Chain A
Amino acid sequence: MFVPTRRKRKLKHIENTEGDLEEDTTIKGPTSALTTFLKAEGIDANAIREKYDRYKPKEEQEKQEDEDDRTNINNAITDDISSFNSNTLVTESSEVAEKRVIVGDEENSDEEEFAGDDENQEDNKVSLQKTESLKKRIVDKDMARRRFKRLKIASDTLDLKNNNNISSLQEIIISNLNEFDFGNRENILSVLGMFSATNLQRISDALCKNRSLNSQNLAIFFDNEDSSSSLSELKFGDCSDLISSDYINLFTHIKQLRQIELHRCGQLNSSTLEFIGENFGSKIEKLWVDGAFLITDVTWMNFFKNVKGNLKSFRLGNTHRFTNECLQTLFSECSNLEELWVDKLHTITDYKIIGKSTPNLKKITVNNPVDEKVFDDDTLTSIFSHIDCTKLEILNLDGCTGVTNKSILYLNKFKLNSLIELSISDLDQIDNDSLTQLFDINDFNSLKKLCLRGSLELEDEILPYIFNLPNLDWLDLSCCLSLRFDNVSKLKKNLAIKRLNLSFVYIIEDNLLIEIINKLPNLEVVEVFGCNKVSIDKSAIKDALNKQNIIIVG
């Protein structure tokens, strides 16, 4: 998972080579292939060992604390079980609780003993402290009892839930729908009734999720003859079972369809797209296509000539037939383009054309170009020279590894005050200083989504700037391995952030997570995948926060 940035790698390599020069005077034994490989990659085994040694004592200490806590919780759960089984919930008297001494693992016993009155006063103090911490951990005993009861029932039915002998309700309904004759419009009305556009989109999502959208049930989305309402926007997440004629039927039977999103449309071919472009091109405003690998470059160019200025949003991904010429035609023909999203188009080698002749372009997403040479600082400079950066709303450069600090410094020349989404994931040539400067200089007041995933050099200095963003809704700091969160208490409370991703930030543990969440009162979802120090039972964190409606994923 951990990939050192190339800057670090270079530095380490230089250090190592210097070291090698000094060591040349000493006598050396034979070098193994592994050692040679580590040296070539700039990985220092000694540094890893030192880091491990530094970390080890802390870990052992934490382990000891965890064991103590676990003993306490085990005792508490034993109490709960006994009270649950007997169905008599007797509140523990404080006197008994005070006298109780919990014997740790050192004595190899899980039993509880009652100490004498005078002899073990110190022990009593320790036990008191432990009892208090226990009380803190289980805020509400009743809540724990309820939780235990639910867990017990859930574990009883777990194997039933996981058995797939009985089809899911969705599968049953879809299977019945497939037997239905959609050729008769009256039949459709009797089965479907009238649905709003939102609900039709939900049905589409359900069908696509079950990989069941096909030529037969596509009729669900067609216009009703007696109704004036018609869908203007439609999204299909999985079109793998749709054949060429279905795409034409969509535009034929849905008169007002202007915006369409088609994923996994491997059967959409050149002749179909040409037909759609020639006949319906004048009304297509948004076309998002993913996986249309049958469409040739000539067809794409003809399509852009047909749709001309109507097209405002275009997205394409996962095809090897979209060439530089296609991109040029897109920008020369579709002058009203506002949004461009290209992902994994490995036949494009010249992105400098982006934004040319399209002054309204304000949403740019370029992900995963074929290599870092085709999208570098010069490319980005060229793109920014074509557009009005003050109006830029989305800038997503995930996986454009050719972008360096130079581009970030160049960005500082413009005031990106309209930016709503900024995503610069996995850009390993951008360091902490330039990112901090970016947030220092620019006024990102309208920023709602910020993704800095995989910014390996990102340090705590940037956190105050991020926590000060007034409208930030979604924050992704996953894989930012250099973050320490040392001064969380000094950070301002942010009332806007609702979703936070801290996956693979290994420093995160329960208390730190609680501290961070306390700074984000309106947080709804926090992701902690790969954070091994966060306890598996998330309810302990929720109890400590006294906030049950937060979802902790991972």
Chain B
Amino acid sequence: MVKKEILEEEIINDLNEPLVYLIGQDGADSHIQIPYRLATLSSTLVKFIENSNNTDTTSDGRDIYEVKLDGISTNILTYVKKYLEYKFENESMIKNSNTKASDAMLDIPDFEYPKDLSLELLMAADFLDI
């Protein structure tokens, strides 16, 4: 658990890392913020970013990329972010563990999400290719 927190902190506080704002159908005010390395796990997000001309930066100089996903609600995007974090953390853990991948996977918990969002999340996952 401590390792996980350190990893999250590392991801978020990496000063050089660009940020990606996922803007759902609820508008820019309720955007979801993810570090760029999580966005690289989705080929769709990478394409959006590569084709954007954003030149915004945060106050501490980090680049910002806005991705507008009109058909997806902010609630769903929250779970998209959770999944990307889940994937990144666990793949990193397997990669860095000394044991076999199959053994390391035994420690990985299931990804949890509300069942009533199943199909909406499935559509979003299909669109984002994750």
Q: Mark A147-180, 1 if CB is under 8 A from B, else 0.
A: 0011001101111110101101110111011001
A87, A159, A161, A202: most-surrounded residue (chain B CB, <10 A): A161
A174 nearest in chain B by CB position: B122
Interface of A is mostly: helix
| B10 CB–A CB distance under 8 Å | no
Give chain B residues whose Cβ lies under 8 Å from the Cβ of A190: 116
| B55 CB–A CB distance under 8 Å | yes
A210 nearest in chain B by CB position: B126
Given A193-B116, A220-B119, A163-B111 contact (CB < 8 Å): no
A155 nearest in chain B by CB position: B40
Residues 511-554 of A at the B interface (beta carbon under 8 Å): 548-549, 551
Complex Cα distance A190/B119, Å?
A: 11
In this complex, the interface size class of chain B, counting residues with CB under 8 Å from chain A, is 35 or more
Query: What is the distance, in angstroms, from B96's C-beta to the closest C-beta of chain A?
Result: 11
Contact A173–B47 (Cβ < 8 Å): no
Q: Which of A149, A168, A176 contacts B130 (CB 8 A)?
A: A168
Complex Cα distance A554/B110, Å?
A: 37
Contact A551–B118 (Cβ < 8 Å): no
Q: Mark B102-114, 1 if CB is under 8 A from A, else 0.
A: 0011001011010
Contact B123–A206 (Cβ < 8 Å): yes
Give chain A residues whose Cβ lies under 8 Å from the Cβ of B120: 193
Give chain B residues whose Cβ lies under 8 Å from the Cβ of A87: 16
Contact A195–B91 (Cβ < 8 Å): no
Q: Which of B91, B108, B121 contacts A169 (CB 8 A)?
A: B121
Contact B95–A160 (Cβ < 8 Å): yes
Give chain B residues whose Cβ lies under 8 Å from the Cβ of A157: 37, 40-41, 88
Query: What is the distance, in angstroms, from B82's C-beta to the closest C-beta of chain A?
Result: 10
Query: What is the distance, in angstroms, from A203's C-beta to the closest C-beta of chain B?
Result: 6
Complex Cα distance A62/B55, Å?
A: 35
Complex Cα distance A220/B52, Å?
A: 37
Give chain B residues whose Cβ lies under 8 Å from the Cβ of A166: 86-87, 90-91, 94, 108
Give chain A residues whose Cβ lies under 8 Å from the Cβ of B50: 150, 548
Complex Cα distance A514/B84, Å?
A: 37
| B3 CB–A CB distance under 8 Å | no
| B101 CB–A CB distance under 8 Å | yes
Complex Cα distance A478/B95, Å?
A: 42
| A68 CB–B CB distance under 8 Å | no
Complex Cα distance A465/B130, Å?
A: 43
| A199 CB–B CB distance under 8 Å | yes
Residues 40-55 of B at the A interface (beta carbon under 8 Å): 40-41, 46-47, 49-53, 55
Additional 14 contacts, C-beta under 8 A, given A165-B101, A173-B118, A220-B119:
A149-B16, A149-B18, A158-B40, A165-B104, A165-B105, A169-B121, A170-B130, A172-B111, A173-B119, A173-B125, A203-B123, A206-B126, A209-B126, A549-B51
Q: List 8 A-B contacts (CB under 8 A).
A: A153-B17, A157-B40, A161-B41, A163-B91, A165-B104, A168-B125, A169-B125, A173-B121
Q: Using a CB–CB distance below 8 Å, which chain A residues touch chain B? A: 87, 142, 146, 149-150, 153-154, 156-161, 163, 165-166, 168-170, 172-174, 176-177, 180, 190-193, 195, 199, 202-203, 205-206, 209, 220, 548-549, 551
